[in-house]
Amino acid sequence: MMESAPDIFSYRKYWAKRFGVAPVLPMSREEMDVLGWDSCDIILVTGDAYVDHPSFGMALIGRLLEAQGFRVGIIAQPDWRDKEDFLRLGPPNLFFGITAGNMDSMVNRYTSDRRIRSDDAYTPGGLPGRRPDRAVIVYAQRAREACGDKPIIIGGIEASLRRIAHYDYWSDKVRRSILPDAKADLLVYGNAERALVEIAHRLARGIPVSEIRDVRGTAYMTPSIPGDWVVMDASSVDRPARIEAYPNPYETGGSCGKPGQVGAVESGQPIHFDRLGRHVDRARTVVRLPSYSQVAKDKVRYAHASRVFHLETNPGNARALMQQHGQRYVWLNPPPVPLSTAELDRVYELPYTRCPHPAYGDAKIPAWEMIRFSVNIMRGCFGGCTFCSITEHEGRIIQNRSEDSIVREIESIRDQAPGFTGHISDLGGPTANMYRLRCKSDAIESACRRLSCVFPDVCNNLVTDHKPLVRLYRRARQVPGVKKVLIASGVRYDLAIRSPEYVRELVTHHVGGYLKIAPEHIEPGPLSKMMKPGIGAYEQFKKLFDKYSVAAGKEQYLIPYFISAHPGTTDEDMLKLALWLKENSFRLDKVQAFLPTPLAIASAMYHSGKNPLRKVNHASENVSIVRAAGRRRLHKAFLRYHDPVNWPVLRKALMGMGRADLIGNGKRHLVPAWQPAGAQKSKNNPGKARNRRRAERRSVR
C-alpha cells in the first residue's frame, strides 16, 4: 500500500507569517519595502513572465510557500548574462528555487526541425529571446556566482525530464543529468509541492541542505552509497540479453541469504539481503541504472535504462534509483505521494490575482490570454502515451479537486477576473475526462507496474465511470453569471465511448463548434509505439459525437490531431494516413512532427532504434526511425497532401514507392499531375498562406 504523508498545510507556519499575504509576490526591492520586508526567505527564478495564476508553476509554488509563512520573491526572466540581476531582491535567507518555466526551454525556443521559433507565449508581447537555452543550468550557475553559499534547488518540467542521463535531441547526444551541470544542491521533480514544503521547513529549522536526503520526489548527487542500503542492479529488475563480462553480484543465484544477493520465496517476491546477510525491505533497496558513460556509448543500454526507469514510477511501489556519473552518483528518491483532494483544493484556492504582475502594464502575455478563464480540475494521466512527458512529470495517478472547490473558482473568476464575459474556456487538465477515474483497488494500484491503464486496452481494474464529471459539468453550467462552459482539454475518446451519457453531455453543452481529439495515427505500427488505441475507438466516438450533435440541433465538427515521423512509422503508414484523411475530407491546417523530449519512451526509441515497451537486448525488436530531414518533411507533407507546396515532393515519393497510380486529376488520386504557378512561393507569402489556411479550415466542414 502507498505510504501516507503529512498534509502540506499541517506544518507550523514560519515566523514571517506576521507580514501577511502580499497583493502580488514582489519582483523588486521597492515592492519589498512597501511590504515591510528587509529580505526574502525564498527567491524563485523563472524563465516565464510572472503571472499570478495557478496555471503558472512559479505562482502556484510561490503562493504555497507564502501560505507556509515564508516571504517569497520572484525573479522573472532575468538577464542571464549578468549575475547582478540575480541579486535584484538581495540574497534569499533560505534558498533559490529555479525553473525554466511552464515549458522546457529547448521546446519553447526550437521547433521539431530545430529551427528557432519566432515567438514565446510566456513572454510579454510574445517576444522571443527572453530566456537562454537550457535555462535551468544557466540560471543556477548565475545564482551560484551571485550567492555562492545559498542552497539552490532546481525543479519544473525541464529539471524533471533531465533528472538522469537523457537523450538530447538538439545536440543529438546523451547528456548527463542536469544536476551536475547546474551544480544544484537538490532537484525536485514533478509538481513538487510536497517536497518543497518539507525542504523549506527543514532549512528554516537550520538543517543543512546537504543533510536533506530522504524527501520523496527529490534527487541529489552523492559520492557514496549509504551502507544500510541494498544495491540491486537494473539487469535483475528487467534483464537484458547482454550482461557485463564481469561477474554481476546482483543476479539471483547461489544459496539464499548470501550477502549482496537476491533470493526468492515461494510467492515469487524477491528477498533482499544486505552485506551482512540481513533481510531488508523494498524501501531500503536502490536500483542501479547503467552509468552515464555506459548509456552514452551503448544505445541498447540506454533503451534498457529507460525501460527500468519507467517501471519504477508508481509511488506505491517505486524504489530509489541511482546512476553513476564519473566519481559520483545521481540518487533519485521514489516519486512523491500524490496530493489528496483537500490539499489540492487548498493549493488552487490560494489568493492568486489571476493576472500578470502589474509591472507588465498592458502588454499581452499569450499563454495567459489562452488560460485566463480556465479551471484546472485534476492532475496526472494514466494514458502513458510514449511521446508525452505528463507521466514522467505529473505521474499516472489522477489527483482530483472537489466539486465545491471548482465551483468556488468559477465564482471567483466571475466576480474578480477582468474581462470575463460569462464564458469558462476550459474545465480540464492533462486530459478532459479522467476526472475521478482510478483503480478499483488501492492495493492493486499500489502494486501495479503497467506503463498505461488503457493500452493495449482499458484495464479491467480501471473504474471508467464518468458520472462525477457529468455532475460537475451540470453544476458548473448552473453557476449564476456563467453563460457557457467549454471543454478545451483533449478528450480521451477510448474512455469516453464507455460512457455515452458523458459524450451526450459534452456534445450537447460544452463544444463550441469544434472539438479537438488526438488519434495521432491510424496504422497499428506507429500506434503500438505510441501506446494509443486503434482507429476503431475514434470511429465509435465519432458516431456518438455526430449522433448527439444532430440530436442537439448543432452543426459541430471533430478536429483530429496527428503526429508525423513518430518512431515506428513507415512511409507506407503515412501514405495510408493521407488516403484516410482524403477519404474523410480532412484538410489539416496545423500538423505536428514528432519532437523527442528528454526521458520520454518514444525518445528512447528514436535514439536507440529499440522498443523499451518490451524487454530490450541487442537482438530485440528494431523500430523504424525517421531521422533524415527529407523524410521528416515527406511525412509532414503526407499530412498536408492538399497543399500545392507539398505536391512535388509527394509525386516524387509516390513514384519511388511504386504508387504512381495515386498521381492524377481524379477523385481517387492523392495529388494532381499539374502544378499551379507560384505554388512554391506561397509558403513564403504570409498573406497568401493565411488565406489558404482559412480556406482549408472551411473545407473541413
Q: What is the sign of the dihedral through the CA atoms of 401, 405, 411 and 412?
A: negative
Residues 6+ apart with CB under 8 A from 31: 24
- The residue assigned the cell 519512451 is 601
pLDDT score, position 701 = 34
Nearest alpha-carbon partner for 595 in 170, 119, 226, 199: 170
Position 391 scores a pLDDT of 82
For residues 587-591, average pLDDT: 87
- Residue 683 confidence (pLDDT) above 60: no
**Has residue 284 got a pLDDT over 90?**
no
Q: What is the pLDDT of residues 441-456, one digit of tens each?
A: 999 999 999 999 999 9
Distance separating the N- and C-terminal Cα atoms of the chain: 51
> In this structure, what are the phi and psi dihedrals at residue 512, rounded to the nearest 5 degrees?
-95, 45
Where residue 677 falls among pLDDT bands split at 50, 70, 90? confident
Does the pLDDT at position 234 exceed 50? yes
Express each pLDDT in 31-70 by its tens digit.
999 999 999 999 999 999 999 999 999 999 999 999 999 9
Question: What is the pLDDT, as a whole number, of residue 280?
Answer: 52
Can you say whether residue 253 is alpha, beta or left, with left for phi > 0 and alpha for psi between -120 and 50 degrees? Answer: left
Write the CATH number of the domain with boundaries 17-215: 3.40.50.2300
pLDDT in tens, 158-208: 999 999 999 999 999 999 999 999 999 999 999 999 999 999 999 999 999
Mean pLDDT of 235-248: 49
User: Which three cell numbers mark 110?
Assistant: 526550437
Q: Decide: 330 and 179 in contact? Cβ < 8 Å.
A: yes
The model's confidence at residue 244, banded by pLDDT at 50, 70 and 90, is very low
What per-residue confidence (pLDDT) applies to 354? 96
* Predicted local confidence at residue 281, as pLDDT: 66
Place of cell 507580514: 19
As a three-state string, the secondary structure of 162-178 is: CCCCEEECCCCEEECCH
Sign of the C-alpha dihedral, residues 14, 18, 24, 28? negative
Greatest pairwise CA separation for the chain in angstroms: 81
Asked whether residue 257 carries a pLDDT value surpassing 90, the answer given is no
- Per-residue pLDDT, 4: 84
Q: Is residue 488 a contact partner of residue 370, using CB atoms and an 8 Å limit?
A: no
HEC string of 68-104 equals CCCCEEEEECCCCCCHHHHHCCCCCCCEEEECCCCCC
Sole residue written with cell 542492479: 233
Does residue 109 register a pLDDT over 90? yes
DSSP lists the bridge partners of residue 322 as 288, 331
412-442 tens-digit pLDDT: 999 999 999 999 999 999 999 999 999 999 9
Return the pLDDT at 538. 96
Tell me the domain boundaries of the chain. 17-215, 224-326, 567-701
At residue 579, does pLDDT exceed 90?
A: yes
Question: Rounded distance, CA 510 to CA 496, Å?
Answer: 14
Q: Classify the phi-psi angles of 657: left when phi > 0, otherwise alpha if psi is within -120 to 50, otherwise beta.
A: alpha
Average pLDDT value for the chain = 91
Whether 286 has a pLDDT exceeding 90, the answer reads yes
Question: Could you report the per-residue pLDDT of 645-673, keeping only the tens digit for each?
Answer: 999 999 999 999 999 999 999 999 999 99
pLDDT at residue 1, as a whole number: 63
pLDDT at 277 over 70: no
Please check the confidence at residue 699 and state whether its pLDDT lies above 60: no
How long is the chain? 701
pLDDT of 470 strictly over 50? yes
Predicted model pTM: 0.90
Sign, CA torsion 224/225/227/233: negative
* Res 91: pLDDT: 98
DSSP 440: S
d(CA 44, CA 28): 13
Q: Please give the torsion angle defined by the CA atoms of residues 232, 237, 240 and 243, in that order, rounded to the nearest 10 degrees.
A: 20
Provide the percentage of residues in the chain whose pLDDT is more than 70: 90
- DSSP assigned state of 393: H
Range from 100-109, 135-144, 259-268, 598-607 carrying the lowest mean pLDDT: 259-268
**Lowest-confidence segment of 36-40, 101-105, 126-130, 241-245 by average pLDDT:** 241-245
Give the per-residue pLDDT at 680: 63
Mean of the pLDDT values across residues 331-341? 97
Confidence at residue 283, expressed as pLDDT on a 0 to 100 scale: 83
**Whole-number Å distance between alpha carbons of 27 and 535:** 50
What average pLDDT does this structure show over 615-627? 93
